[in-house]
Structure 1
C-alpha cells in the first residue's frame, strides 16, 4: 500500500512539472487507471490500455523524469504495454 501511495505522490509531482502548452497533453495522472496493473503485475483494464495509447507520445518525456522512470521502465509496465499492444519506450 505504501508503494501505491508513493507512486501516486510521484505522479502528482510530475504532473506539476508540465509547464508549456505543448506538453499540456502529457499528464501522468491520466495513467492512474494503470496503477494496479503496474504496481501488481495484474492484467490491465481496457481503460488502462486506452489511456496508455493516449499518453504514448509522452513516454520518452516520462522516461527522462527521474521520478517517473522507475515506473515507466519497470518489468510490470513493460508487461502492461505488451498486453495493450503498445511498444514500450526505449
Structure 2
C-alpha cells in the first residue's frame, strides 16, 4: 500500500515538473505606440484595418489604457475611427 502511494506521488511530481517545463512562458508586452503604426491609416482615415493592424492592436491591448492616459496619444486612441478599427478587429475598447 505504501509503495502504491509513493508511486502516485512520484507520478504527480513528474507531471507537475513537466507542466512547468513544457508550458509556454508568458511573454511580456513592450508598450510602444509605434507598434500600432500598421493601424495609422485606418485610424486617420476611414479605410479598413489590415490583418497586421488587428494583430498589433490585440498584442498591445494591455497598453491601451496607458495610451489613453497620455495626452499626446489620447486623441488617436479614443477617436471615433479608432473605435471603428477596434470594432472591426473584434477587440473591445477597455474601460480605464
Q: Where do 4+ consecutive residues of structure 1 move more than 6 Å?
A: none
Structure 1 or 2, whichever has the larger Rg, is 2
Aligned partner of 1:33 in structure 2 is 38
Q: Does 1:80 align with 2:85?
A: yes
Cα 1:54/1:70, change in 2 over 3 Å: same
The structure whose RCO (Cα within 8 Å, separation 6+) is larger is 1
Aligned partner of 1:44 in structure 2 is 49
Q: Secondary structure at the match of 1:71?
A: helix
How many residues in Structure 1 have an aligned counterpart in Structure 2? 68
User: Gaps spanning 5+ residues in structure 2: where?
Assistant: 1-27
- In 2, Cα distance between equivalents of 1:41 and 1:88: 18
- In 1, Cα distance between equivalents of 2:56 and 2:86: 11
User: Gaps spanning 5+ residues in structure 1: where?
Assistant: 1-22
